[in-house]
Amino acid sequence: MGICFATPAKSDPLKGFGTKVVPGNAKQSPNTKNQQTNPAAMGDAFLAASPGDLSVLRSLKSFTFTELKNATKNFSPDNLIGEGGFGFVFKGWVNESTLSSTRPGSGTVVAVKKVKSQSFQGHREWLTEVRYLGQLRHENLVKLIGYCSEPKNRMLVYEFMAKGSLENHLFKKGIHPMTWPIRMQIATDIARGLSFLHSLNANVIYRDLKASNILIDSKFHAKLSDFGLARKGPIGDGTHVSTRVVGTMGYAAPEYVASGHLTPKSDVYSFGVVLLELLSGRRAMGDETIGGPTATLVEWALQFLGEGKQFSRIMDTRLRGEYSKRGAQAASLLAFRCLHMDPKNRPTMVEVLAQLEMQQAVQSSPQAKLEHRIRTLSTHRSH
């Protein structure tokens, strides 16, 4: 089994609208080889596959290449907001009511992901995104508005997320650090999205949770994007899904990396990593403050996590101490549970969400707000 990982990028090239996972060396059937030489054929087969598949597409707007060309001002470099191994993402504009293209600067802003015509992996992920985001609707999933299925012009059209990716807000130099309440709001939003995916109605394993795939709207609410690697969860008495290992180093669960056994608890582990990033302001892998390019955040942070440990050692210094000590301790213990080596001992995302929502309620109480105000004033005076 080929293990195919991408290392976390230093920048956020696709603003969360793509991945950098390389296809593995799994054996291919003759049909697969033909599809790889002609990736467009894979899309055509899907579009006419079955009534069920077509019903998914009816909920989406079918755009022509010309419409999206006009919406993005001929895919102008001025409207380019990201690029990656499988394509480019452009800002575009459509009419709010009809979703037809409109002149740049008017109507509703959208994000248009254009798949490179010769990228087999890109076309495969295009199909997966249409399948899942065409069916699933939730406040914490980025909305897929439509698609273009012309043979050499596979595109996806999403709602535009004004604040970009979580990766940018945590790690890009020059961006004002997010406050503690916003970080916990984002953690809760992520947990809510994953909890929905893991529900019986959806039964989806996300498989690629990372800071660059979490997008932020104008009100700093988070949504999961890029479903190109998503998989259907186990059914019946099944405990896991066996699959080729793909993902991003530093985020993937150890048992998944070792065996290819994918379960909802694999997403729980990845959530624990993202929660550590929110707490510490450090990258999942390769952060200079934890030991260089091969060091992982989990390995570094575990020495400070758990009952009786000095959790404050992991906290982002840019917060300047302006966070709830009880809330931070609870969040660090939650991350510790999510990162347990044995997936059976990790909480479910329903349990994670319940704890975060309870903590949010506590922090929103009048007493907690007063304590935060006093602590903030005290911190500013000491500086």
Please identify every residue annotated as catalytic. 208
Residue whose tokens read 């060309």: 69
**CA distances to 197, 208, 301, 381 from 336, in Å:** 22, 20, 9, 33
**CA distances to 116, 130, 337 from 43, in Å:** 13, 10, 41
The token pair at 344 is 């059976």
**CA distances to 69, 99, 256 from 91, in Å:** 11, 14, 36
- DSSP code per residue over 237-281: T---EE--EEEETTTS-HHHHHH-EE-HHHHHHHHHHHHHHHHH-
Q: For residues 24 and 125, what is the distance between their CA atoms, to the nearest angstrom? A: 14
114 marked as binding residue:
yes
The token pair at 78 is 């001025």
Q: For residues 234 and 214, what is the distance between their CA atoms, to the nearest angstrom? A: 25
Helix (H) or strand (E) holding 150: strand 144-150
Q: Exposed, middle or buried, 98 (CB in 10 Å: 0-12/13-18/19+)?
A: exposed
Tell me the three state secondary structure of residue 191.
Answer: helix
Query: Which of 98, 97, 124, 117 has the alpha carbon at shortest distance from 43?
Result: 124
Distance, first Cα to last Cα, the chain: 55
Residue whose tokens read 């997403």: 267
Residue whose tokens read 């299925």: 149
The token pair at 297 is 């955040």
- Binding-site members are 114
- Binding-site members for ATP are 114
